[in-house]
Amino acid sequence: MSAAITLLLLGLALLGAPLFAVIAASALIGFQSSDIDLSVVLIEFYRLAEMPILLAIPLFTFSGYLLSESNAPRRLVHLTGALLGWMPGGLAVVSLVACAIFTAFTGASGVTIVALGALLYPALAQAGYNHRFSLGLITTSGSLGLLFAPSLPLILYGVIAQQLGVGGSITIDDLFLAGILPGLLMVAALSVWSMWVNRGQPLHGFAGTKIGKALREAMWELPLPFIVLGGIYSGYFAVSEAAAVTALYVLVVEVMIHREVRYSDLPRIIRESMVLVGGILVILGVSLASTNYLIDAEVPTRLFDAIREHIKDPLTFLMLLNVFLLILGMMLDIFSALVIMVPLLLPIALGYGINPLHLGIIFLANMQLGYFTPPVGMNLFIASYRFRVPVMQIYHATLPFFFILLLTVLIITYLPALSLYLPGRAGP
C-alpha cells in the first residue's frame, strides 16, 4: 500500500470517518494491490460467525444493559455497604467494590459512572468524605473491573487471539482466571489508600440485621457470579452457554420477579445493547481481514525485526509497551484499540517470550488506566458532564488514584506470575 493512500486513510480517520470503513478500505486496497480476491474479506466474517464463543458477546452485553436499567445497582451498593461499611473509609471501599462488579458485567465504564455515580456521590458527600476525593474515586472506579469475568473486553481479546492462531491455545476460561489476581490487586491497592486517607471518618458499627436485610434484597442477584464462574469452571457450561444462562436468569429476575424492567422497555434495551455489539462485530470482522493482509505482507515480522534492532530485552519492551498503551487508551475506546492493535502486538510480544495471557492482562490494565489519563481520558469528560464539575477539577481529583493504579500496572507487567498462576493451577 502506497504512503499516499496510508496518509489519506489516516486523515479520514482523524476527520471522523467511521473506523470500520477506514479499516475495511485499508484491507480492500491491500488485497487489491496484491491481486488477491476481495472475497477473502467476506470469508473472515464467515469465520467469525462460525465461532461458538461469539454468542457470549451479545448475551453478556444484553445482561449488563438489563442490570443497569433495573435497581440492581442500588441493591449492590446496599449489600456492599452492609458488609464493608463498618471499616475505616468503608463507604469508599464499598464504592470501589460495587463499581468493579458492575463494570465487569456492563463492560462499559461510562455506564458505571452514570448508573452508580448517582447513588455513590451523594452518599459519599453525606458521609462527610472530601469533595475532591469523592470525584476522583468515582471517576477512577468507573473503569475498575475490566479484568473480572465476564468482562466483554476480556472475551474480545480472547476471540482476536484465537483467530490469529499464534502463541498456542488461548481460551476465554484461562483469560477469566488470569484477570482475577491483577484485578484484585488494583481494587486492594485503591481500597488500602482510601482507608488510610479517610481513617478519621466516623465508624458505623457492624450490624447483622442490616446485612440480613441487604442479603434478602439482593438474593436474586447474588447467584450471578456463581452462575458465570461456577458453571464454567465446574464443567457444566461452556462460556457461551454460561452467557445464555446468565441472560435468561437476569431477564427472569429483573422483568418477572422484581418487575423493575417493563416488557415494553425490552425492545429498546435490546436495540441499544445490540447497537454496541453490532459495532464491535463489524469492526472485528474487517480488522481480521486487515490482519490477514498484514500477515501476508509480513508486516508484524518486519515490525518485530525493526523493534528488535533497538530493543534487545523483554523488560525494556514491556516498559515502552506500557507507555504506548497508556497513550492508546487516551485516544481510542477499548474495543477499537483491541481489534486494531492486538493483531500487531501479539506476534511481537511472542517474539520477546511474553505469554499471550499475560499480554492480554497488561493490555486491558493499561486501557483501564487510559480511561482517566489526562488530557483526553474518556471517563474525565463523562464525570465532568455527570457531576457538572469543570474537567480540570476532575483531572486534579484523579491524580492520586492514577499514580496508585500506575504502580499496580507496573507490578502486573513485571510480575507475570500474578496473571499466570491461576491458569497454571487450572491446567491439566
Q: How far apart are CA 20 and CA 24, in angstroms?
A: 6
Query: Residue 412: what pLDDT?
Result: 95
Q: How far apart are CA 319 and CA 224, in angstroms?
A: 37
Query: Do 137 and 124 contact (CB within 8 A), yes or no?
Result: yes
Q: How far apart are CA 15 and CA 356, in angstroms?
A: 34
Give the angle 369-14-41 at the CA atoms, nearest 5°.
90
Give the angle 132-134-138 at the CA atoms, nearest 5°.
125
Grid cell locating 47 = 469465520
Chain mean position to CA 169: 22
Query: Residue 358: what pLDDT?
Result: 95
Query: Residue 201: what pLDDT?
Result: 66
Query: Residue 152: what pLDDT?
Result: 86
The type of residue at 329 is: G
Say whether 235 sits in a helix, a strand or coil: coil
Residue where the block lists cell 499514580: 403
Query: Residue 146: what pLDDT?
Result: 87
Query: Do 382 and 142 contact (CB within 8 A), yes or no?
Result: yes
Q: How far apart are CA 404 and CA 208, in angstroms?
A: 33
pTM (2 decimals)? 0.81
Residues 6+ apart with CB under 8 A from 160: 284, 287, 288, 338, 339, 342, 343
Query: Residue 360: what pLDDT?
Result: 94
Query: Do 140 and 401 contact (CB within 8 A), yes or no?
Result: yes
Grouped pLDDT means (10 residues each) for the chain, 428 residues: 71 71 78 76 75 80 84 79 74 84 74 75 80 88 84 88 76 90 94 85 66 83 80 79 89 90 91 84 77 70 76 87 85 79 87 92 91 76 82 88 93 94 71
Grid cell locating 406 = 500506575
Query: Residue 167: what pLDDT?
Result: 66
